[in-house]
Amino acid sequence: MSRKKIVAGNWKMHKTLEESMALTTEIRGMVRDELRGDTQVILIPPFISLAGMARLLEGSAIAIGAQNCHWEDQGAYTGEISAGMIKSTGATYVLIGHSERRMYFGETNEQLAAKTKTVIRHGLKPIFCVGESQQEREDKTYFKVIEKQITEGLFHLDRKEFSSVVIAYEPVWAIGTGLTASPEDAQEIHHLIRKLVANYYNEEIADALSILYGGSVKPENAAQLFAMADIDGGLIGGASLKARDFIEICKAAR
Ligand code: PGA
């Protein structure tokens, strides 16, 4: 299996510019000194830190990503940030459709489909997030929910466009709660996602797709999750704000 292992740290609305630079410096040193193998490490800070961090990380293998992006290239959208602006900072990834964006900002699959298209057109790579709520897990409708998120959010892309997509499965009930999906439960969904992609595109594209797990990943549970056949790394929230925890999770992805 040749697909890329990825560990991405989603800093959410944490860290001032100064704090971001300090944490980045710390992580950069640990990645250089301790990380072996070719796991792709991605840091996803608030927008204000992107450019500074990109400069700080020049010559390092760590990539930078943004947490959101507008679907239009420019215009009267006060408070929004475009893909071109993100690209100009040196970032290469963009999170699309994080459950907090869906939940608190009402982002719809239709908007996320447009964002994904725009991000790819600008040569950036989307990390497209999907996941079910606690209720949907209890009702056992989670397969359907995830299928709909993927179908409506991604399947407008052609094969070439889709090849730059990373998918993150993040069960909403596991985000920031300390509850983690068991490796087997997570594997079941990752496998389903890969099957959907194989059926719609083809086996080769599905095989090359990195699917990350997110939701209370910690140094203590990362290795078991990442050992599953279809789990290719993680999208880390809380634990990515501590350099030591984050690097231990990165090491577990080998
Ligand atoms: P968590 O967040 O690791 O704090 O649960 C994950 C995420 O929301 O990306």
The Cα–Cα gap between 108 and 106 comes to 6
Beta carbon of 10 within 6 Å of any ligand 1 atom: yes
DSSP state of 68: -
The Cα-based distances of 30 to 22, 59, 230 in angstroms read: 13, 15, 27
- Average the pLDDT over 229-250 and give the result: 98
pLDDT per residue over 188-227, tens digit each?
999 999 999 999 999 999 999 999 999 999 999 999 999 9
Q: Which of 68, 95, 216 to mutate to test the pocket of ligand 1 (most atoms within 8 A of CB)?
A: 216
Global pTM value: 0.97
pLDDT per residue over 70-103, tens digit each?
999 999 999 999 999 999 999 999 999 999 999 9
Nearest in space to 144 (alpha carbons), one of 105, 192, 108:
192
Look at residue 176 in the predicted model and tell me its pLDDT. 85
- Average the pLDDT over 152-160 and give the result: 98
Cα(166) to ligand 1 centroid in Å equals: 16
Give the pLDDT band (50/70/90) at residue 178: confident
Say if residue 49's pLDDT is above 90: yes
Task: Kindly write down the DSSP assignment for every residue of 103-134, as one continuous string.
Answer: HHS---HHHHHHHHHHHHHTT-EEEEEE---H
Domain 6-252 grouped into CATH 3.20.20.70: yes
10-43 in b/e form (b: 16+ CB < 10 A) is bbbeebeeeebbebbeebbebbeeebeeebbbbb
Beta carbon of 44 within 6 Å of any ligand 1 atom: no
pLDDT per residue over 102-150, tens digit each?
999 999 999 999 999 999 999 999 999 999 999 999 999 999 999 999 9
Is position 147 annotated as part of the catalytic site?
Answer: no
Closest atom of ligand 1 relative to the 216 alpha carbon: 5
Nearest CA to ligand 1 atom 2: 237
Beta carbon of 153 within 6 Å of any ligand 1 atom: no
Give the pLDDT band (50/70/90) at residue 1: low
